[in-house]
Structure 1
Amino acid sequence: MSDQSERGAEESGNRDTGTAAVVDIHQYRQSRDPLPVTFHRRELDAILWIYGRMVGEGAWRDYAIDHLKDKAVFSVFKRSGEYPLYRIEKDPKLAAKQGAFSVIGADGRILKRGHELKQVLKVFDRTLKLVD
């Protein structure tokens, strides 16, 4: 008789709604505090290769890397106390549209944007000009 009374109480909606469910701790932490966007190793290698070349030419002297929630930014400086000359940004939200990678000048203009970082970094390649 006690089985029927317990079942009747459960079916009528009197059971406790605060029951615990098993949740993966990794998914829970990621939903509460998502991981920041970062540059992958190959992307950072390509950026640092350009940086090293420009330091050798004397054009750049310092850099900063920021890993934010929505994008990763590699900033390039002539001097460490100034505004960045260029910002190389990775924004995954734009990957399906205009491309995740962009190079932004000191004035805020987007100099080049694309899906592949190496193509975007070609904005720093200098072409030789014939001088009379």
Structure 2
Amino acid sequence: MTVQNMPPLSGGTPQIAFDRHELSVILSVYGRMVAAGEWRDYGMSFLRDVAIFSVFRRAAEYPIYRIEKRPALRNRQGMYSVIGMDGRILKRGHDLAQVLQVLERKLIRPID
């Protein structure tokens, strides 16, 4: 697992970003949720200490989930986390695919 830094935009400080593999995992879950009608839009932010993938139910509203990558927490509780609309951390860990499983529970519905 590598930490990818984007070149600085201005001011000389690098930005944290998701690499291709991480984006592939995130967009795979995103695609399934869009197909299920749960999600409609997303946005990405790349800051000095965190990369954020925000998920929206409708465009132009507050994100319902944020998927964050914080490399500073890599050796502690894990650099990946899923944060709910209310700011609670729903899942945190070292493996992105495992952390994203908390979102896929919404796809599992009982059959009548």
Aligned: 1:74 with 2:42: no
1:58 maps to which residue?
A: 37
RCO higher in structure (CA 8 A, sep ≥6)? 2
**What's the Cα RMSD here?**
1.6
| SS, match of residue 83 in structure 1 | coil
CA–CA distance in structure 1, aligned partners of residues 56 and 109 of structure 2? 24
Q: How many residues align?
A: 101
Measured against aligned partners, the alpha-carbon deviations of 1:8-38 in whole angstroms (never above 9, x if no partner) come to: xxxxxxxxxxxxxxxxxxxxx8xx6221000
Match for residue 69 of structure 2 among 77, 81, 90: 90
Q: How does 1:1-132 map to 2 (within 5 A)?
A: 33-126=12-105, 127=108, 129=110
The AA in structure 2 aligned to 1:123 is V
CA–CA distance in structure 2, aligned partners of residues 121 and 56 of structure 1? 17
Q: CA deviation at 1:128?
A: 5.1
Bigger helix share: 1
TM-score normalised by length of structure 2: 0.84
| SS, match of residue 16 in structure 2 | coil
- Structure 2 unaligned regions, length at least 5: 1-7
TM-score normalised by length of structure 1: 0.72
CA–CA distance in structure 2, aligned partners of residues 98 and 125 of structure 1? 21
Q: In structure 2, do the counterparts of structure 1 residues 78 and 66 end up closer, same or farther at CA, with 3 Å as the change threshold?
A: same
